[in-house]
Structure 1
Amino acid sequence: MPNIIDISVPLHSGIPVWPGSPGFRLFQTMQIDAGEVANVSQLETDVHIGTHVDAPCHFVSGGKTVEQLSLEVLIGSAVVAHLPEISAVTPEDLEALALPPNTQRLLLRTRNSQLWANQVSEFQIDFVALTADAAQWVVDHGIQLIGVDYLSVQRYYDSPFTHEILLGAGVVIVEGLNLTDVPPGLYDLVCLPLKLVGSDGSPARAVLIEKDH
């Protein structure tokens, strides 16, 4: 069997969330230990929580919603690239990766992933993300899915332009990946958001499957 690497973060009440988000709450409404017939839980959460997918309508009026995203984009060969010594992802950084021709899915491992490894629960405003120019580079090079290892593809203090460039071009954004210790290389990605009708985003389970070389 090929090795499967879970690159999604566990969802629990202590995970970091974007400032202003209601966060994540899972609680039981029925309990066997209380004499009831079953354990039943209820979930209250922002859809942009933990490992999640942004649909175009998150920043594009009239854009596609989550259930309209192509499974052919969410599943398939992906390149994991390691950018360990940067504070922002620029076009020059992406160009230096020398990606394989026709790369369609790109996952960026930065120092952000160490935050997940260290279980840092406080939101960090200095996370690594793409500049708007880097977003345009992604679009210009035909990449259909971009994945990042913290809660946003754009830097905390930047305008929404990075999102708008990517989502306006139909690029699927996957945020909140945990790529700790994932070696750079080519993998098969499976990233499945919940089929939330009309939603601008959704939590997702994302895994990498090592290719047989």
Structure 2
Amino acid sequence: MKINYDKLYDISMLINHDMPVYKGKEEKRPLLKPVSDFASGTVYESKLEMNLHTGTHLDRTLHMIPEGNTIETLDFKELITKCKVLDLTSVKNKITAKDLSSKDIADGDFILLKTRNSYEKVLEGDFIYLEQSGAEYLVNHRIKGVGIDALGIERAQPGHETHLQLMEKGIHILEGLRLKEIEEGEYLLFALPVNIEGAEAAPVRAVLMDFNN
């Protein structure tokens, strides 16, 4: 099989201390520390301190549901899949069922929501999110996964309605995507999380392949 590398797109966030983090909380900023360098030894080694919900990541249900599932129980093949990128850059505040009603969404789809989050510096503030009616719409269409270019699929929902509606139906949730350069359409998604036993989330290096041309 010949791969056209010009048709591969990295849709992940770069991890560094100054990156956007949820609500700008300092305790969520990653910290890369050297533990050995060439001044003190013969090798360079470092450690990373990072909240698992920082940057591009996959949620598991333990994030919101007691006794929920964790990363090592995931069938990784479910995160290598065809997907549909939906252009919702005209949405001003939150994605509702009405916003999704004009889009081509079918049973078994994996949906990526492209919003103005990919263009504007709003990730630490009032980013675009998936509102409860939008989550219900996707659940009713029996999708298998949804991703968004925000640091959370929801914002300011005390009852976590969006997360819970999706998780209770086994719908995968990807957060922290970067979709500025991606046009609406169908792609092949590779979004494999680091396999951390017992973790409620894990970092992902998410890549799209355009297989249409």
* TM over 0.5, shorter chain: yes
Conserved? CA contact 2:117–2:123, under 8 Å: no
Instruction: Give the deviation of 1:182 after TM superposition.
Output: 0.4
Pairwise CA RMSD: 1.6
The alignment's TM-score, normalised by the length of structure 1, stands at 0.91
In structure 2, distance between residues paired with 1:71 and 1:42: 26
- 1:9 match: 13
Match of 2:66 among 50, 61, 70: 61
In structure 2, distance between residues paired with 1:51 and 1:67: 18
Moved beyond 6 Å, runs of 4+ = none
Instruction: Give the deviation of 1:157 after TM superposition.
Output: 4.9
Instruction: Letter of the 1:8 partner, please give it.
Output: S
The alignment's TM-score, normalised by the length of structure 2, stands at 0.91
Instruction: Give the deviation of 1:123 after TM superposition.
Output: 4.9
Q: For structure 1, which runs of at least 5 residues remain unmatched after alignment?
A: none
In structure 2, distance between residues paired with 1:161 and 1:136: 9
Instruction: Give the deviation of 1:95 after TM superposition.
Output: 1.5
SS for the counterpart of 1:208 is strand
Instruction: Give the deviation of 1:176 after TM superposition.
Output: 0.3
- 1:165 match: 165
- 1:203 match: 203
How many residues are aligned here? 206
Instruction: Give the deviation of 1:212 after TM superposition.
Output: 3.5
Match of 1:102 among 89, 107, 112: 107
Deviations 1:95-142 (A, max 9, x none): 11123x334200010000013xxxx4x853210011111111111111
- 2:97 match: 91
Deviations 1:63-111 (A, max 9, x none): 2111112223211100001011112111111111123x33420001000
- 2:124 match: 124
Give 1:18-57 correspondences, 5 Å limit.
Answer: 18-19=22-23, 20=25, 21-32=27-38, 34-57=39-62
In structure 2, distance between residues paired with 1:56 and 1:201: 9
SS for the counterpart of 1:206 is strand
Instruction: Letter of the 2:139 partner, please give it.
Output: V
Conserved? CA contact 1:81–1:107, under 8 Å: yes
SS for the counterpart of 1:96 is coil
Q: For structure 2, which runs of at least 5 residues remain unmatched after alignment?
A: none
Instruction: Letter of the 1:85 partner, please give it.
Output: S
Instruction: Give the deviation of 1:158 after TM superposition.
Output: 5.1
- 2:183 match: 183
Instruction: Give the deviation of 1:23 after TM superposition.
Output: 2.0
Identity over the aligned pairs, expressed in percent? 31
